[in-house]
Amino acid sequence: MSRSKSSQRWLREHFADPYVKKAQAEGLRSRAAYKLEELIERDRLLKPGMVVVDLGAAPGGWSQYVRQAMGDGGRVLALDILDMPPLAGVEFLHGDFREDAVLSELEARLDGQRVDLVLSDMAPNMSGVDVVDQARAMHLAELAMEFADHHLRTGGTFLIKLFQGVGFDEYVRQLRQRYEKVAIRKPAASRKRSPEVYALAQGKRAQPR
């Protein structure tokens, strides 16, 4: 079966992408690591000894960057519906975050330990139908926010990928109720034509407003 024109264009753009080439040269698992690097360095989000949960982690670019940046201390727990080759110092859980059993397993691994930083780069498999894809993406975002509500320590940070569209403004409003400071960022490594942005919510309140 021949590839569609859109998939051929994507492949050309992908292999010509300077961030793809840089990731390959530096031994990183994905170009997405540079999105996280910019976001973390700008706001100095990482400190030694932190507990970090990475939702939607595969192929591991974010977890790899966090583990390297923090050194040997702290914990990095990664979860994805896709399998992910092992990373030294990263605890990986293979499963669907939408399933109660998978969430329960992640909670069991935390064993009551509070999280300092929740990362979510989750995205649904895209169908090409905008209204369907946006609804699925917002559902994942709601689940990630709920996880942060229960497991992120007071004062902690939540960084999540969002897609602009239906539900986006309301979601950001909910973040502002829960966190002292919320900013919307578009890292340089994020493709300009992509509707993705990142919401950085810092200073989790003890109680939402």
- Known binding residue 80? Answer is yes
Candidate list 47, 161, 181, 192, residue with the active-site label: 161
| Helices first, then strands: H and E counts in the chain | 7, 7
What's the token pair of residue 33? 């690591």
C-alpha neighbours within 13 Å on the C-beta side of residue 156 = 23
Burial class (CB in 10 A: 0-12, 13-18, 19+), 104: exposed
- Known binding residue 121? Answer is yes
Q: Is 181 a catalytic residue?
A: no
Hey, what long-range contacts does 130-134 have (CB within 8 A, 24 or more apart)?
Answer: 130/165, 131/166, 133/163, 134/163, 134/165, 134/166, 134/167
- Known binding residue 156? Answer is no
Annotated binding-site ranges: 60, 62, 80, 96, 121
Annotated active-site positions, please? 161
Which positions make up the binding site for S-adenosyl-L-methionine?
60, 62, 80, 96, 121
